Amino acid sequence: MDDATKRDLIERYITAYNNFDIDGMLAVLDPGISFENYSGDELTTSANGIDEFRQLAEHAKGFFAERVQRVSSLTLSQDGATAEIDYHGRLAQDIPGGPKAGSLIELNGVSEFTFGAGRIIKIIDRS
């Protein structure tokens, strides 16, 4: 896969994410998508396959009134890409034992994308 296609897939995924467009997110993912999210060294959530990913995305969507991921840098490799991400989101509901609705969450992280068969086959988010 060429670099322009990788960039396009990432841009489409992030645009759909920012717009709460789950179908748009899924459109660029392989049916066998593998997703992992880490906070520090701790795996906080994962999904295997498009159905699990959809469920996870639908669940997460309800937590935020707004959310924006911005790529601050992108490094492409033969079968992958690493994006440095600036993230902010405003909570739509209280997080049990955590921040309250209306709180602003701001993070810097890294998203690692792996590609195959013209789609994204793996995403690892780290913050």
Structure confidence by residue, pLDDT tens digits, 68-93: 999 999 999 998 999 999 999 999 99
Whether the pLDDT of residue 2 is over 90: the answer is yes
Q: In what order do the strands lie in the sheet with 119-126?
A: 42-48, 29-39, 119-126, 104-116, 80-91, 64-76
Q: What is the CATH number of the domain that holds 44?
A: 3.10.450.50
Whether the pTM exceeds 0.85: the reply is: yes
Give tens-digit pLDDT for 11-31: 999 999 999 999 999 999 999
Give the pLDDT score at 95: 83
Its domain, for residue 111, covers 3-126
Q: How many domains does the chain divide into?
A: 1
